[in-house]
């Protein structure tokens, strides 16, 4: 099996992805700016230690991300070092609808995809819909408010474990460019999800549906954040809530 470096390997998606890769028999290194068990030290922004971390690596699964607009700089550094180190496959985790939903974070994701497409390093791009935990935070973060405000749009949430399985499949395959997008097994309105969350979290707050203006919400109402084709994965939002809240 191949030698794989995972960036963002200690994060929400990174942990199950590393587990899935190791279960598949791969030797996995987890890139981190800090030393730790089964980790290699390297910094995607400065490049410090990155060459050593990539030495002997065949495949990189690039999951590291941030909300501070540095994803493009990090990807440029990673691609340069990967080309120099002889990496033969980079797998990038992206998001469904990034070309249609005008969020700055999504625009950065799209820019990284373009960098990959222009790079001589062979690549695979996987786009997935929003994770269960991200959508749950929208409700949980309103704990100081007397109500739970829910925008009028929908989502197709997917479990990180299901995404991790797909990433492990791609790591065992040849570079394929952009592969088919994946979304969760059900499409729900935000209000439906809020009511499921309310029951699971034993919340007594009233759910208030609101209509928001703007291009971002319009794109979400138009289901640009969903996959029109076959649904993927097995874990529903109710399954996730049952595990989270017991």
pLDDT tens column, 38-83? 789 999 999 999 999 999 999 999 999 987 668 999 999 999 999 9
**Residue 80 class from Cβ within 10 Å (0-12 exposed, 13-18 middle, 19+ buried)?**
middle
Enter the pTM of the model.
Answer: 0.94
Domain that holds residue 8: 3-245
- Domain total of the chain: 1
User: What pLDDT sits at residue 13?
Assistant: 96
| Cα–Cα distance, 83 to 91 (Å, whole number) | 14
**What tokens were used for 142?**
């309103």
pLDDT, mean over the chain: 93
Query: What are residue 182's phi and psi, to 5 degrees?
Result: -125, 145
Structure-token pair, residue 17: 């992805």
- Smallest CA-to-CA distance from 122 within 178, 193, 65 is with 178
**Cα–Cα distance for residue pair 8/92, rounded to 1 Å:** 11
Q: What angle do CA 236, 221, 192 make, to 5 degrees?
A: 35
Confidence of residue 1 (pLDDT cuts 50, 70, 90): low
Confidence of residue 113 (pLDDT cuts 50, 70, 90): very high
Instruction: Give the rounded distance of the alpha carbon of 220 from its chain centre.
Output: 18
Q: Which position has the token pair 């097994």?
A: 185
For residue 68, the model assigns a pLDDT of: 67
- List CB contacts of 114: < 8 A, sequence separation 6 or more: none
More confident residue, 141 or 111: 111
Q: Quick one: pLDDT band at residue 108, thresholds 50, 70, 90?
A: very high
* Residue corresponding to tokens 């120099």: 84
Burial of 99 (0-12, 13-18, 19+ CB in 10 A): middle
Residue 134 is predicted with a pLDDT of 86
CATH number of the domain within which 71 lies: 3.40.50.720
In this model, does residue 163 exceed pLDDT 70? yes
Band the pLDDT of 181: cuts 50, 70, 90.
very high
């Amino acid at each position: 099996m191949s030698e794989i470096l995972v960036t963002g390997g200690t994060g929400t998606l990174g942990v199950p992805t590393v587990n899935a890769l190791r279960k598949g028999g791969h030797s996995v290194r987890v890139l981190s700016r800090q030393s730790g068990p089964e980790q290699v030290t390297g910094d995607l922004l400065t490049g410090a230690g990155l060459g050593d971390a990539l030495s002997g690596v065949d495949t990189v699964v690039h999951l590291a991300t941030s909300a501070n607009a540095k994803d493009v700089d990090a990807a440029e550094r990673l691609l340069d070092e990967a080309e120099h180190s002889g990496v033969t496959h980079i797998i990038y985790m992206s998001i469904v609808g990034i070309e249609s939903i005008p969020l700055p974070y999504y625009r950065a994701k799209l820019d990284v995809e373009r960098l990959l497409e222009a790079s001589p390093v062979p690549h695979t791009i996987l786009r997935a819909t929003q994770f269960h935990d991200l959508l749950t935070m929208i409700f949980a973060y309103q704990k100081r408010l007397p109500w739970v405000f829910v925008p009028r749009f929908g989502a197709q949430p997917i479990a990180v474990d299901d995404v991790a399985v797909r990433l492990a499949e791609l790591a065992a395959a040849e570079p394929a460019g952009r592969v088919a997008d994946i979304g969760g097994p059900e499409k729900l309105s935000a209000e439906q999800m809020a009511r499921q969350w309310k029951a699971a979290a034993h919340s007594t707050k009233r759910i208030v549906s609101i209509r928001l203006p703007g291009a971002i919400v319009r794109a979400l109402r138009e289901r640009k954040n969903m996959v029109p084709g076959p649904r993927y994965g097995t874990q529903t939002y109710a399954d996730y809530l049952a595990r989270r809240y017991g």
